[in-house]
Structure 1
Amino acid sequence: MGRSGGVAFGLAVLALTAGVANAQTPEGEVAAFRHHRAAAVTALRAENLDTAARELAEAETFIPNHPGVMILQARVAAARGDGLGALIHYGRYGGAGLVFDVDGEEALADLRTQPDHAAAVEVIAELIRSNKAPVGAGSLEPLFRIDGAVLAESVVRDPRQDRWLVSLVAGRTIVAVADDGTVTPWLQPDPAASGMVGLAVDEARGILWATTAPLPPAIHGLAADDVPATALLQIDLETGRVMRVYPVPADDREHGLGDLVLMPDGAVIVSDGQSGDLYRLAGPDQALTPFVTGVFGSPQGLAVVRNTLFVGDYSSGLWRMPLDGGTPVPVALPPDQTLVGIDGLTTDGTRLFAIQNGVNPQRVLRLVLYPNHEEVGIVVVLAANLPEIEEPTTVTLVDGQLVFVSRSQWNGFDDDGAPRQTDLPPALISRLPPTPEP
């Protein structure tokens, strides 16, 4: 985003961080956050900075350390003449490990000219520079690439055939990849297949569970009316043939199924990043039914740790809930951290591992849970600021290593789904150990 006036630029940041589900009316903390954030936007447009500051502070009580709110709080404080308050918010943003354009930040540039604040500005600038340093360069290992404009979304291991399966949005397909990197077609053509998104292997049943979603039709080369609706697909793991299609229960909202997780009892939980809901498939002969409604803004990655289901909500962070349902609650974090912008999520049975692509820098994280699962005690950055990490998406754990789509190509397509260039860098699948490099 280009440089512009401080408060006006902040309004643009808030618009971008609103997430894909602003048209929803969920209940609870996400809805309250959005209410106060919208009130702040209204106040800013009326140039009522005091009200804007109060509303932003209220919004933070529901989603602490939201990146868009923190940076806007700094700009509003500077515009109100509260230099110290502005520096505190800029420092919080940097303390969360995030990056912004220090030289292009007009409010910070103004503070640099003030003798009382110049030294603090330099400390913050140094913090932001340190947040730009590469992390994990000695540990990250590219596994294989997929050439062409394919838009890779998910990767899983098929243990029966010792191969990888990768979902491609642009190709409306799933490909098989051998350990030597050889890519072959796998999913049999089916009229239910739109952009292929989430994957989960059900080895006991010989099933690959996959989600398909009607992403911008230009990606698929189809007319808008011809793009299949979002659905969960049951695919034969041996043949790649679609065996059954599970549509989302009909209503008047937009839907887009994405990530999914296989539960210990064999049920499948699926996230809908458009409606904000979770759905459950109790078994192959059942239908998708609502599991959680009216809570999340844009749920993405899912992971099971013992008796707890963890949900990464792109718009608000990490949540937890009992496996059999109930009310999700936010997972407490260290006071200087943010997990807004989580996409992929997996676990080794004790710790969580997350792909956070909704912030700058995009990161691979290890989240150490307290034994009660109610809090994340430690957030460790395993990889960030590396050329191999470009719009990363989903992650899985195979043979003690994190395997993830490190370059998905999402930023290579415009809002209508058309490629931005003819020679996109290949999609990239990479491997990373679950502990930091020494």
Structure 2
Amino acid sequence: MKTSLITLALLAAVVATPVAAQKVDPASDLGRFHALRAEGMAALQKNDRQTALDRLTQAGEIIPDSPSVLLLRAQAALELKRRPVARAALIDYLTRGLVLDLGRYPEFNTLWDADLESLQAENTRRIGSLSVLHRVEGLNLIEGVAAMDDGTLLGTSLRNGAVGPVSAAGIDQRLSLRAGVAANAIALKDGALWASTAASRQTVGYAPDAKVVSKIIKVDPATGKIRAQFEDKRPDRRLSDLHAGKEDLYVSDGNTGEVLRLTGYQGPLQVLIPEGYLGSPQGLSENADATVLIVADYASGLYRIDLTTGTLARLKAPADTVLLGLDGLYRYGNDLIAVQNGFKPNRILRLKMNADWSAVETTEVLLRGQPELEEPTGGQVIGDRFVFVARSQWSEFDDKGNIKRDTPAPVVIGEIKLKP
């Protein structure tokens, strides 16, 4: 039972992220966290519960919103018969909006009471309203959307390797890529469509042995003609989320853990955050004066890059939320709209930032619990609306890229209203 609980607690923090190929710097926040968590789990397996609690507490000081550490701390404290400490860890877990399956974690039944049940019930309560713009039938696996000036909504289908206008019938293929390659993210800037491309197991024609270079491409959105392409030929690149900033374009590499910059939208791709600091960088967003870039790392939360000095700092999560498992990240005024698909129930969050984006002051759940909200992905803030992929169809595939069923639930493109 003990080994099973350790395994399940670890799985609680393993969000749906690509398998990382990079080496983590042991001196980084992520590296120190991984080491302490591993030491704590090893101590638990050896029945050295006090050492386990000490190491897990230290890990929690680095990433206090780690669900796995919160549950492992509760387990270690419970085995030491420190019920108040164990219960406090569960309260912290639930206060952050997470849900605990007692059927999978039966040892916590001895701590469960009406107060904990009330916290859990609050975390599954439906919040917000979602307006459905499109239900796209068939298997498309739409990852990102971008709106043109005339209101036309473009989308990228990972399944078909296509980019073009979205309708109920699917994506009108305006840009076609080679077999097995798809655009992960798209953005419009000064009349050009920018996309990150990579080989994908979910894409028709994928061949694991094919030599495919992950690229940034610049496209004429009217004709689909590729005007320019940018790459650095690193063989393990898998470019994913991108942000079309005021002066520069930024793209994350979920495989190597790097964040790259295309300075002035031209020239070679440059490494902004090198390998070793982030586990799986995803969404990116620049502040209004283009002096700060925030990156969402699926594994460890939000990071702030000072674009003037190049310094990197991790932002601490407020006590009432989790900043792990964030995918898309979009600026609205001085706040950030975040898509959180790493935990269930999935959520759309509003992160209220301080003036210089050095801290998340408070968070607000904008959307949670709607049946159409399933593996949400990319979107765009358009005025006072957030238009995004509410149901992407990632749940229609297993970890090896195999299709689970013959008739998939449709992709849902939705929007929520934002208030200044």
Q: Normalising by structure 2, what TM-score?
A: 0.92
Aligned match for 1:270, one of 251, 258, 261:
251
Contact in 1 for aligned 2:346/2:368 (Cα 8 Å)? yes
Shift in alpha-carbon separation, 1:171–1:23, aligned structure 2, 3 A:
same
For 1:201, the equivalent position in structure 2 comes to 188
For 1:116, the equivalent position in structure 2 comes to none
Larger deviation, residues 398-407 vs 39-48: 39-48
Instruction: Tell me the secondary structure at the aligned position of residue 320 of structure 2.
Output: coil
Instruction: Tell me the secondary structure at the aligned position of residue 389 of structure 2.
Output: strand
Aligned residues: 413
Contact in 2 for aligned 1:192/1:228 (Cα 8 Å)? no
Shift in alpha-carbon separation, 1:279–1:397, aligned structure 2, 3 A:
same
For 1:390, the equivalent position in structure 2 comes to 374
Contact in 1 for aligned 2:138/2:170 (Cα 8 Å)? no
Residue identity matched to 2:328: G
For 1:8, the equivalent position in structure 2 comes to 4
For 1:25, the equivalent position in structure 2 comes to 24
- Separation in 2 of the partners of 1:387 and 1:133? 12
Shift in alpha-carbon separation, 1:17–1:24, aligned structure 2, 3 A:
farther
Deviation at 1:13, TM superposition (A): 3.3
Residue identity matched to 1:45: Q
Is 1:170 the counterpart of 2:169 in the alignment?
Answer: no
Contact in 2 for aligned 1:6/1:105 (Cα 8 Å)? no
Is 1:215 the counterpart of 2:200 in the alignment?
Answer: yes
Segments of structure 1 that go 5 or more residues without pairing to the other structure are 113-120
Contact in 1 for aligned 2:187/2:243 (Cα 8 Å)? yes
Shift in alpha-carbon separation, 1:258–1:324, aligned structure 2, 3 A:
farther
Residue identity matched to 1:386: Q
Is 1:368 the counterpart of 2:352 in the alignment?
Answer: yes
Q: Percent identity?
A: 30
Is 1:105 the counterpart of 2:101 in the alignment?
Answer: no
Residue identity matched to 2:176: P
For 1:123, the equivalent position in structure 2 comes to 115
Contact in 1 for aligned 2:257/2:277 (Cα 8 Å)? yes
Contact in 1 for aligned 2:181/2:206 (Cα 8 Å)? no
- Separation in 1 of the partners of 2:346 and 2:3? 25
Contact in 2 for aligned 1:246/1:288 (Cα 8 Å)? yes
**How does 1:252-263 map onto structure 2 within 5 Å?**
254-263=236-245
For 1:297, the equivalent position in structure 2 comes to 279
Aligned match for 1:287, one of 264, 268, 272:
268
Shift in alpha-carbon separation, 1:70–1:279, aligned structure 2, 3 A:
same
Deviation at 1:184, TM superposition (A): 4.5
- Separation in 2 of the partners of 1:192 and 1:219? 8
For 1:133, the equivalent position in structure 2 comes to 125
CA RMSD of aligned residues (A): 2.1
Instruction: Tell me the secondary structure at the aligned position of residue 175 of structure 2.
Output: coil
For 2:80, the equivalent position in structure 1 comes to 80
Residue identity matched to 2:123: N
Instruction: Tell me the secondary structure at the aligned position of residue 224 of structure 1.
Output: coil
Please give the per-residue CA displacement for 1:157-187, whole angstroms capped at 9, x wherever unaligned.
Answer: 011x431111111111113126xx5644233
Contact in 2 for aligned 1:103/1:109 (Cα 8 Å)? no
Deviation at 1:92, TM superposition (A): 0.5
Instruction: Tell me the secondary structure at the aligned position of residue 275 of structure 1.
Output: coil
Instruction: Tell me the secondary structure at the aligned position of residue 107 of structure 2.
Output: helix
Deviation at 1:23, TM superposition (A): 4.9
Residue identity matched to 1:394: G
Instruction: Tell me the secondary structure at the aligned position of residue 209 of structure 2.
Output: helix
Contact in 2 for aligned 1:292/1:325 (Cα 8 Å)? no
Residue identity matched to 2:240: G
- Separation in 1 of the partners of 2:91 and 2:2? 17
Residue identity matched to 1:24: K
- Separation in 1 of the partners of 2:73 and 2:381? 38
Deviation at 1:228, TM superposition (A): 2.8
Deviation at 1:338, TM superposition (A): 1.7
- Separation in 2 of the partners of 1:169 and 1:323? 32
Deviation at 1:6, TM superposition (A): 5.1
Aligned match for 1:229, one of 208, 213, 217:
213
**How does 1:85-100 map onto structure 2 within 5 Å?**
85-100=85-100
- Separation in 1 of the partners of 2:281 and 2:104? 33
Contact in 2 for aligned 1:140/1:432 (Cα 8 Å)? yes
Contact in 2 for aligned 1:212/1:257 (Cα 8 Å)? yes
- Separation in 2 of the partners of 1:130 and 1:315? 25
Residue identity matched to 2:278: F
